[in-house]
Amino acid sequence: MKVLILGVNGFIGSHLSENILKTTDWEVYGLDVESNKISDIVDNPRFNFVKGDVTVDKDKEWIEHNIKECDVVLPLVAIATPATYIKNPLKVFELDFETNLEIIKKAVKYKTRVVFPSTSEVYGMCTDEAFDEDKSNFILGPTNKQRWIYSCCKQLLDRVMWAYGFEKDFKFTIFRPYNWIGPKLDDIYTTKEGGSRVLTQFIGNVLKNEPMKLVNGGHQKRCFLYIDDGIKCLTKIIGDKSGVTNGMIFNIGNPKNNVTIRELASRVRKIFYKHPIIKSTNLIKKIDIEDVSEKIFYGEGYQDVSFRVPSIKKARDVLGWEPLIGLDAALRKTIDYYLADNKFSRKVVNK
Ligand code: UGA
């Protein structure tokens, strides 16, 4: 099987490629503007990497050719950080919606199957105890809260694919990640405040000797899923030969790892305090946790989701998938990765 991954150097793309090369005999065709996260696999003969940009005409020709040649395409390029939804909502619309729509239309043209990353954000402020892919309503705020533009872009793409499936027999499967975490999530050294997702924001804060900031007191809850669990599920979807997943939507999250952001900060702090590298180097003496209002942290265009728990019944029943990694293990593995990262370990060596 030939798998085309656009955004192959991203958090999901890089882990997925590694797993495909390790556990299957498939070939990966990947495009990205960067290659720092795929250095371990870039020389693998079954990995065909091209440096390129999904928005540039020259690279669009390569993309079209490979959509035609491959069995399945995963369009993973998207802005996925809430601070950007608020600062640059048009950039989110252009990249997440317009560019991906072009890719989907090409897949329709060449009858290539698409496995598409939707998002848990589509459910917005849904009040269901557990969000169901086929029953839960989507509840978004007003237009002047531009945080919802990401949710809206993804929702419309989901609906467009659904419509192509309904009217033109287009083959697709949609997956909705719920706060996936792990190594390579965001670059903690280049990111600005609010510029990365919460866990990497916190790890970055600690490593830069800044306080972790709890937006609106940190009472809001999220279910965090370790990347390896998510990738196992995604690989099963891609490898579906029977066509059973065609036209289906899957939540991929871990309902058991459901904590407030305040609890997350306190667990992160505990792991750092107990960590052998931190204990032996004395590089981080005190980790503070502060409250901050959403207006100060994100600005007027922000509105939050208070809780979101996935129903993973469908992934269990159809794919036989179950998330296995608990929150503390997931946090520990992620923190280990960022502590081993060059920029921090250089500090340790110099000490
Ligand atoms: C995220 C992003 O929209 C996407 O990456 C993704 O599609 C989706 O959720 C997902 O992974 O399921 P959200 O969970 O709100 O949305 O994003 P985070 O930036 O990780 O924030 C989580 C919570 O922590 C929010 O309530 C936020 O206000 C809070 N937060 C964030 C803090 O309290 N402090 C921080 O420093 C950063």
Provide the residue type at 184 as one letter: K
The predicted pLDDT at position 149 comes to 98
Average pLDDT over every residue of 155-163? 98
Q: Give CB contacts under 8 A, 24+ apart, made by 322-329.
A: 323/225, 323/226, 323/229, 323/230, 323/233, 323/253, 323/254, 323/256, 323/257, 324/229, 325/226, 325/228, 325/229, 325/254, 326/256, 326/257, 327/224, 327/257, 327/259, 327/267, 328/267, 328/271, 329/226
Rounded Cα gap, residues 117 and 111, in angstroms: 19
- Atom of ligand 1 at shortest distance to CA of 215? 33
Helix (H) or strand (E) holding 346: helix 342-350
State whether the beta carbon of 218 lies less than 6 angstroms from ligand 1: yes
Query: From the CB of residue 74, how many other CB atoms can be counted at a distance below 10 Å?
Result: 27
Rounded Cα gap, residues 118 and 149, in angstroms: 13
State whether the beta carbon of 122 lies less than 6 angstroms from ligand 1: no
Of 8, 53, 55, 2, the C-alpha closest to 35 is: 8
Convert the pLDDT of each residue in 260-302 to its tens digit.
999 999 999 999 999 998 888 888 889 999 999 999 999 999 9
State whether the beta carbon of 215 lies less than 6 angstroms from ligand 1: yes
Closest residue by CA, ligand 1 atom 27: 215
State whether the beta carbon of 76 lies less than 6 angstroms from ligand 1: no
* Predicted TM-score of the model (pTM): 0.96
The predicted pLDDT at position 24 comes to 98
Query: From the CB of residue 159, how many other CB atoms can be counted at a distance below 10 Å?
Result: 11
- DSSP string spanning 65-120? HHHHH-SEEEE------HHHHHH-HHHHIIIIIIIHHHHHHHHHHHT-EEEEE--G
Provide the residue type at 263 as one letter: E
State whether the beta carbon of 251 lies less than 6 angstroms from ligand 1: no
Which residue would you say has higher pLDDT here, 91 or 346? 91
- DSSP string spanning 222-274? EE-EEHHHHHHHHHHHHT--S-TTTT-EEEE--TTSEEEHHHHHHHHHHHHHH
Convert the pLDDT of each residue in 210-245 to its tens digit.
999 999 999 999 999 999 999 999 999 999 999 999
Strand ranges for 122-220 from DSSP E: 172-177, 180-181, 212-215
Ligand 1 pocket test, pick from 121, 181, 304 with the greatest ligand atom count within 8 Å of Cβ, gives 121
Q: Is the pLDDT of residue 349 over 70?
A: no
> 316 in the Ramachandran plot: left (φ > 0), alpha (ψ -120 to 50) or beta?
alpha
Task: List residues bridging with 173 in a β-sheet.
Answer: 115
Q: Is the pLDDT of residue 345 over 70?
A: no
State whether the beta carbon of 179 lies less than 6 angstroms from ligand 1: yes
Closest residue by CA, ligand 1 atom 9: 179
Give the single-character DSSP code of 56.
S
Average pLDDT over the chain reads 95
- In the structure encoding, which two tokens stand for residue 305, read together? 């989701």
The predicted pLDDT at position 341 comes to 77
Q: Is the pLDDT of residue 247 over 70?
A: yes
Ligand 1 pocket test, pick from 261, 307, 309 with the greatest ligand atom count within 8 Å of Cβ, gives 261
State whether the beta carbon of 118 lies less than 6 angstroms from ligand 1: no
Ligand 1 centroid – CA 198 distance (Å): 5
The predicted pLDDT at position 294 comes to 97
- In the structure encoding, which two tokens stand for residue 32, read together? 């990205």
Across 238-273, b (16+ Cβ under 10 Å) vs e yields bbbeeeebebbbbbbbbbebbbbbbebbbbbbebbe
What whole-number percentage of the chain has pLDDT above 70? 97
Which residue would you say has higher pLDDT here, 192 or 307? 307
Q: How many CA atoms lie within 13 A of 215 on its CB side?
A: 22
